[in-house]
Structure 1
Amino acid sequence: MTGRVPESRKVVVDRSEGFGERLLGQLLDRAHAMPPQLIAPLVAEEVRRIGGRDVSILLQDYDQVMLVPLPGRGLKGGDPLPIDGTWAGEAFVSETRVEHPVADGIRMFLPLLDGSDEVGVMALTLSRVDDDDRRLLRRLAGLVADMLVTKNSYTDQFFRARRREPMSVSAEIQWSLLPPLSMAIPQVAVAGIMEPAYDVAGDSLDYALNDEILHMAVIDAMGHGLNAAVLATVAIGAYRHARRANVGLAELYEFMDTAINEQFGPDQFVTAQMARLDIGSGSLEWVNAGHPAPLLIRDNRVIEALEGAGTLPVGFGGAAPQINTRQLVRHDRVLFYTDGLVEEHESGGEQFGEKRLINTIEHVGPMTRTVQQMVRSLSHTLMRQRKGTTTDDASIFLVEWCGGTADHLAEVNI
């Protein structure tokens, strides 16, 4: 028999609406029906209610070099700010709040994080700041990031703000295919970047976390321009279709191979790496279809290339691939990349090469903390070493296995 809980033992919870809940709640309530162009005035109004002013929303550009002001009524404009060497950039890279004293108060820079994906930075000025302000603004920034990502699907406004150069049709197609370029949870983190951002064609990447399995793919479609983008689109579409049918890696390769062959014939192909990581155990499986071997990084040192058995590129009808396996150690990183990263060379000079890539990884690694920081720094360092030359697509996809569990995040503490 179930007895009633005595009145004296019941926990009384105060459900009245406080100022912070009211401010965030009204923002959320109105955001549901808010057209995209009114997000800026709404955010500016909410910030004014807590005494803030000079509000800016800064979005990361496609090159991952600058933070670009989002235009809109109520927002402070201005020139794009470099990610490196600015207060806003520090907040963006570190994913933490930055406070900078100014003549009329404190300039606050808050990272806009959609989950763990870096959207940009919200900046505002307060006359003074206390811990209540910091807590409320952190939650406000999280809500603003979610609003931007949600409304992004309904407008071109945010895409246009992020572009600092004209974009090719092939790049337009590729960017529309991509998942968020960063994700971090307690057990695993991933980050990617593609060059040239405004003219990429055949390179693409994809991932999905299904329960305890992280699925990953990096592809490089032959050729350049629009045809390469179409090849990549079919390859990624076939990959996702097979992945969502929960087939094995060998069957996944065969499905992609058939799709490319039937659509384009035997003269066109896609090189690819398809992998699965058990985020609980750290067991990595992968199939190599004519792609450069991924690099295993431990303690900021490249300890080996994960060569393994391979098969023909997707579309050539290769034999059923052998599944390669490797047990990772906690905080191991695996770097997948496309050949444009190492095959670039100056006119009359030698190729950039894997050895120089490894040297650069080991130079950059100790100076970065997260996979997002490492990917961005590695890509930009390699670009400088190549003297800005990118005649072929060059992509990087980095995964770090951390292990452990995220169960504590589902616990409610009142």
Structure 2
Amino acid sequence: MPESAALTTASVELILAGAGVSSDGSGSRTFTIAQSPFLIGRGAENGNHLPIDDLRVSRRCAAIVREDDGFRIDDLGQLLGIYVNGAKITQQRLSDGDTITIGGESGHQLIFRTHAAGSAFERVIQEVEQVPTAQFQRPAEGLNKINLLLEASLLLNSQRPLELVLGAMLDHAIAITRADRGMLLVPEVSGTLAVQLAHNSKGEPLPAENMKPSRTVIAQAIEQQSAVINADVNLANLTVQSAHSVVYQLLRSTVVIPLYAMPRGGADDPAGPFARNLLGAVYLDSKHTAAFSALDRQILDALGAQAASILDNANLVARERERQRLEQELSIAREIQMALLPRGLDSYPHLAITSVHRPCHEVGGDYFDIFSIDDDRTAILIADVSGKGLGAALLTTMLQGALSGMTLGVDPARVIQQMNRFLCEHGNLGRYATMFFAVLGRDGQLDYIRAGHPSPMLLRDGTVTELYKGGSFPVGLVDEANFASVSVQLEAGDTLVLYSDGVTEAEDISGNLFGFDRLGKTLAIDAAATVERVQQNVLDAIETFAAGASQSDDITMLTVRYLG
């Protein structure tokens, strides 16, 4: 048996030229390499283990030979040559997945497959070697079942569509257990196992919505975290015997194999390093009793392990694709958000302006803008939407659209009042925004509206002060909030530093905040410098203070100097 086990760890899948492979798997056949040499050629009558009925194929065209550390293929005189991965060969070492072409470059294809050591199939082979021969009442039947497992293993590791692979797995499980029907159950969002696939003993699909598996037996298998086999329901416990689905459907035997992902949790995982994630279950039942040998149980365990592996891999692939899709959407949102930031900050002759916007995530909730109201007045705005990510980014875009209406001559206070009313009426959004909005005229008159945002810093003659004191309500938080305009007169050389709370709440590695006092002292160091230098002094101070600590909020600054 050891030699036989070694020889059956490889196979070839024959795909006939022009036939292709349909969705149900027709058009291809899988042959186990159980002999060495494994002969390939025209006609079974010529002693070929893999016969191909085609005049383009020689009677003895090729042989696959087992070596100590793998397999090779030899050209035995094929007229049109043997090709491996498109290259013509006379002798070639084979690797898993190699494509062998026979009968010309566009001839029949053989896909060579091997099984890694420790696979479920090899484990069951090793276990079967320990089973005394006397336990096999019908040796041929035992070998047929092992061959079924091999075919299932090959299919589960193929590149076929997932539904086809899982359907074939069900068919093999039904054949091994002689069940009347089989089902694959997978968890729904609620966690309840629902039937995804169902087949009868002929391999025909059954409507999943009409299936009524025994929930009692399924619950028992999940609780025990192991396969539950009832060869005769009448010998099972009373709970199973009296289960409604068992009685109503006249079931006499049931098999449930829970499918678990391989543990990935580390020592810090809240679920523990040995946490088992339930992927689903294979369910089989019949209206007649069954007899399960030790070999049957081993084969079912191996089949369940393989099915769990393919489901686990499929889930990982699906999650990775979803992650990539979200990353792509966030990247697009970031591009849109950055494109909406103001351009041409040097096009205002009476102002010197600079800005910086550093989202802590792909997209942020901070927003600033500068635009002309008319020939003599310029609007200046900074806002910070609650939360982060796409939700905050969407609201900042809405704010920008609403505020752009001020270029039509609408009173800014009325616009912000309406925005507040709209957000409060749609409280299910759970979003609000702090905001500072101002209109600066060429004569230096600054009319501003505050809505819960930190006061801009005013730099005048080397002195740093806050533009205003006291609190106010953010937009969208309180329906009764009133937003009124306040006027101040700026002098030539006055500088306004607008910022989001990501500046003052920048953290060092110990969690300490940068703070208002440190911001004021930094601005006072070189208050008369260019606006670019003033802004860079703050950014440098934050970087030195944080000392590499990651930040949890966006950092946005808008520095505006009135030139007179």
The answer to whether the Cα contact below 8 Å between 2:356 and 2:556 also exists between their aligned partners in 1 is: yes
Residue aligning to 1:392: 553
**Residues 246-257 of structure 1: matches in 2 within 5 Å?**
246-257=409-420
For residue 177 of structure 1, the aligned residue among 327, 335, 340 is: 340
Partner of 2:430: 267
Task: Determine the C-alpha separation between the residues in 2 that align with 1:181 and 1:171.
Answer: 20
> Do the aligned residues in 1 keep the contact of 2:366 with 2:554 (CA within 8 Å)?
yes
**Which residue of the other structure, out of 505, 510, 515, is the alignment partner of 1:343?**
505
What is the aligned-residue RMSD (CA, Å)? Answer: 2.5
**Aligned counterpart, 1:282:** 444
In the superposition, relative to structure 1, how do residues 373 and 198 fare at CA in structure 2: closer, same or farther (>3 Å)?
farther
- The equivalent residue for 1:238 is 402
Instruction: Choose from 512, 519, 535 the match for 1:357.
Output: 519
C-alpha change, 1:362 and 1:168, in structure 2 (3 Å) is farther
Q: Retained in 1: the 8 A contact 2:457–2:498? A: yes
2:388 matched to 1:227? Answer: no
Tell me the CA shift for residue 327 of structure 1: 0.9
Q: Of 292, 311, 318, which residue of structure 1 is paired with 2:454?
A: 292
CA offsets 1:67-89 (integer angstroms, 9 cap, x no match)? xxxxxxxxxxxxxxxxxxxxxxx
Whole-angstrom distance in 2 between the partners of 1:354 and 1:171: 29
Instruction: Label 1:358 to 1:234 Cα distance change in 2 as closer, same or farther (>3 A).
Output: same
Q: Report the counterpart of residue 193 of structure 2 in structure 1.
A: none
Of residues 364, 379, 393, the one that matches 2:539 is 379
Equivalent pairs counted in the alignment come to 233
Q: Distance in 2 between matches of 1:320 and 1:376?
A: 36
Identify the residue that residue 190 of structure 1 maps to in structure 2. Answer: 353
TM-aligned CA distance change 1:211 to 1:253, over 3 Å: same
Instruction: Tell me, yes or no, if the aligned pair for 1:231 and 1:260 is still in contact at 8 Å.
Output: no
- Could you tell me which residue of structure 1 aligns to residue 375 of structure 2? 211
Q: Is the 8 A contact 1:220 1:271 kept in 2?
A: yes
CA distance in 1, matches of 2:439, 2:499: 16
Residues 387 and 174 of structure 1: CA distance in aligned 2, closer, same or farther (over 3 Å): farther
C-alpha separation between the residues in 1 aligned to 2:428 and 2:472? 18
Q: CA offset at residue 347 of structure 1?
A: 4.3
Distance in 2 separating the partners of 1:188 and 1:237: 24
Q: Distance in 2 between matches of 1:169 and 1:374?
A: 32
For residues 302-340 of structure 1, give each alpha carbon's deviation from its aligned partner in whole angstroms, at most 9, with x where no partner exists: 1x2012565421112242223222111111011111111
TM-score (norm 2): 0.39
- Closer, same or farther in 2 for the Cα pair 1:177/1:336, shift >3 Å? same
Counterpart CA distance in 1 for 2:544 and 2:502 is 15
The TM-score normalised by the length of structure 1 is 0.52
> Does the 8 A contact of 2:363 with 2:390 survive in 1?
no
Deviation of 1:269 after TM superposition, in Å, equals 0.3
Tell me what 2:91 maps to. Answer: none
- Cα deviation for residue 190 of structure 1 reads 1.9
Higher mean C-alpha displacement, 232-241 vs 333-342: 232-241
- 1:314 matched to 2:475? The reply is yes
Separation in 1 of the partners of 2:391 and 2:430?
A: 13
Change (3 A) 1:361 1:294: same
Residue 234 of structure 1 and its aligned partner are, at CA, apart by: 1.0
**Structure number with bigger Rg:** 2
* 1:212–1:190 distance in 2 versus 1, CA, 3 Å: same
Gaps of 5+ in 1: 1-165, 404-414
Q: For residues 535 and 483 of structure 2, what CA distance do their matches in structure 1 show?
A: 29
Larger RCO, structures 1/2 (Cα 8 Å, 6+ apart): 1
Q: Which amino acid aligns with 1:219?
A: A
Percentage of pairs with the same residue: 29
Residue in 2 that maps onto 1:402 = 563
CA separation of 1:171/1:387 partners in 2, compared to 1, >3 Å: closer, same or farther? farther
The answer for the alignment partner of 1:305 in structure 2 is 466
2:340, 2:517 → 1: CA distance? 31
Amino acid at match of 2:411: G
